[in-house]
A and B are shown apart, each in its own frame.
Chain A
Amino acid sequence: MKQKTRKGLFGFIFLLPVIVMISIFFIYPLIKVVLMSFQEWKIMGGSSFVGLSNYKKALVDDEFWKTLWNTVIYAIIVTPMIFVPAVLLANALKKTSRSTKIFRTIFFIPYAISFVAASYIWQWIYNDSYGILNYILISLNLIGQPINWLGQTWLSRVMVSIMVAWKTLGFTMIIVIAGLQGISPQIYEAASIDGAEKSQVFRYITLPLLRPTLVLALILSLAGSFKAFDHFYIMTKGGPLKTTETIVMYINKIGFEFYDIGFGSAVSVIFLGILLLISYLQLKAGGFQNE
């Protein structure tokens, strides 16, 4: 009993740095944001509580719904663009050998670049007068005139998503590889003894056993997509005509450009609620209930 308490104490001491960090940099700001969302917040002091009026303002604000919608559409486009190639690549590179290690590294490298740098690189690639993409397509006679890739709403959504997929699929791939390697080879052995076909193995063994990993990767990826900011801020600046303005860009604008911190906080809290709901639904769909 005594030893058990000591063990518990040691455990707590090891956890302490993380608890302190999370409390200071996450819990405290979170509480503060919730408090500010009920205030007409003044920079130089003298803020006053205004009840739910910031929330009411958000719910009747056209731009709130518009940017939320833009974000949802983007998440719907980008998620499969990351997931399908990531799972395929993971499957192809799951066995560890010298060549798969090299390819894994190659696919993972873009993930190490910041979104800001990646956005600038791809902005150059996409440029219509000196970008390499148009140059290649024109050289191959695939197009006659250079295309303004970021100039039209749907096209720019897809083109930005391609950049994001290029940048992040390496991370998803690594998570999926870890999941694949966690599946015991004995199960595959048993299946092959029972005479299961490759497609059956994938359908009845790999996919179900991979589900927790896939759900985790999906939550990370969807949450990331919903928080999209840098790449649209740099590559499209929310244009053309605000059609690629995301909700985080909107929050940034209200808070730090319009100085309306109370209203910005309210939109953030609503957005947090939406993210929590999505994560909850995903966990539920992934069979994580009461585990």
Chain B
Amino acid sequence: MSRRLLVLILVVTLAFSGILMAKTTLVMWDQLAATEDIVKMFNEKMKAEGKDIEVKLELIPYDQMVPKFMAALSAGIAPDLYGMDLVQFPFFISIGAFTDITEWAKELPFFDELTKGMLEIGMKDDRIYGLPYQIDLSTMLWNKGLFEEAGLDPEQPPQTWYELVEMGQKLTVDKDGDGIIDQWGFNLAGGGAGAYMFWFMPFVWGNGGRMFDDEGNVALDSYETVQALQFWADLVHKHKIAPVSSVQYGSGDRYNAFVSGKLAMFLGGNFNITSLLQDAPDMEFGVAMIPKNRGEFASFGGGSLLGITSQSKNVEAAKEFMEFAFSEEAQVGAFAPSLQLVARPSLYDNEYYKDIPQMMRFADILGIAQTPYTVKYNEIYDPVGYYFESVFLGQMDAETAVRECTKEIEKILAE
């Protein structure tokens, strides 16, 4: 009898341990190739620790990021972990697509380090749903060689709007005297609302303006915004330091012009550094803050947040991965070598960045990064793109554009 019981207990224990031993496979979606290394490191670590957790990564192309997620959510097969463009987060949090990780996140040893502005994008009603994982900051790069040629101090990029115009005029040159400009001082960051948000909003912020007030109401209709819009239009039409065509340029157009020495000051970001070091190994370039006027220096904090979706059945394992993804081992081991920005400011002091002075600048820029919060981010793109472009093309005055744009955004937010 007791023997039978013993056997029974043994069988039951074995069966349960079988379940416990069953492999936990986490599916992760992300856009960043460097994440592959983090996943590899994590899987090896789990193996070494004898834990049966494995992460499978699927790299999702940027333009498929939302459609694929929508399809997966509605089919109930969303990944466990998703590193998604942060501006999309508020909407997906609002429909309940992500798991609340507040208590766990606040206990993380590095929690206080995370960039506050970007962290807030992953929050709703003081609850946390995602952590800033991939960081992209808007900034201005300048070609030191071209500054020297123009008789400017190659170590002094413009700090203010006034200096931007003054230096820009010296840097806009017709080299062979045929009446055609061969080198431009500046390019607007054109090509749609996404670019305007990322590179134009820092001009609004740098002039003391803002997009939303603390209650989430549109606060765009201000003298500060009007002035910033007018300033960009003037760069093209009045000061003539940027070509009209740059209103429609994508970032690739601007990048190509900068690499080929046809553009002296370039609105770019940290994501340009690796390719610039490869494409233009001889070019001396610096990373500057986007020039300001009456406000403070500003940068748009873009990139992605990492969150656990509400359809994940392995939340605990997913948390284990998340904690690892933000560890020094993962961040410095996987992000830093490819000059991806590390998510924790304390890790900037690493062996990969130390020989590249441009990278060190981003520690300061990270501190001034802002991201507007709205669940209707994509919808406000529409009026922003249309009215701002109208001003830059010289087809509408800035005051009317800001007024109309604000009206439309208000309408969208009210719906």
Contact = CB atoms under 8 A, between A and B. Distances in A.
Same complex for A and B? Answer yes
A151 B247 contact: yes
B70 interface: yes
A259 B379 CA distance: 9
A253 B192 CA distance: 13
A236 B250 CA distance: 9
Interface in A244-270: 253, 255-259, 261
Interface string A51-84: 0000000000000000000000000000000000
A240 to B, nearest CB: 6
Contacts of B70: 43, 256, 259, 261
Contacts of A257: 66, 378-379, 381
Given A129-B184, A151-B247, 13 more contacts: A124-B256, A128-B243, A129-B263, A130-B257, A148-B244, A150-B245, A151-B244, A236-B248, A238-B192, A240-B247, A241-B395, A242-B386, A259-B66
A259 B386 contact: no
A138 interface: yes
Given A44-B95, A241-B386, A256-B70, A130 B248 contact: no
Interface of B: 66-67, 70, 73-74, 91, 95-97, 179-180, 184, 191-192, 243-245, 247-248, 250, 252-253, 256-257, 260, 262-263, 378-379, 381-382, 386, 389-390, 393, 395
Nearest to B387: A241
Contacts of B395: 241
Given A138-B180, A256-B70, A241 B97 contact: no
B306 to A, nearest CB: 20
A44 B180 contact: no
A145 B180 contact: yes
Contacts of B245: 127-129, 148, 150-151
Contacts of A236: 248
Contact of B66 (A42, A124, A148, A256): A256
Given A146-B180, A257-B381, A261-B70, A130 B260 contact: yes
A227 interface: no
Contact of B74 (A44, A123, A256): A44
A85 interface: no
Interface residues of A, number: 32
A123 B252 CA distance: 10
* Residue among A146, A238, A241, A255 having the largest count of chain B Cβ atoms under 10 Å: A241
Contacts of B67: 255-256
A123 to B, nearest CB: 7
B91 A259 contact: yes
14 contacts: A43-B70, A44-B73, A44-B95, A44-B97, A127-B256, A128-B243, A129-B257, A130-B262, A151-B245, A239-B192, A241-B386, A241-B393, A257-B66, A259-B66
A144 interface: yes
Contact of A43 (B74, B180, B252, B390): B74
Contacts of A239: 191-192, 248, 389
Contacts of B96: 44
A11 interface: no
A211 interface: no
Contact of B256 (A130, A144, A240): A130
Interface string A127-156: 111100000001000001110101100000
A255 B260 CA distance: 39
Contacts of A123: 250, 252-253
A151 B91 CA distance: 33
Contacts of B257: 129-130
A43 B260 CA distance: 46
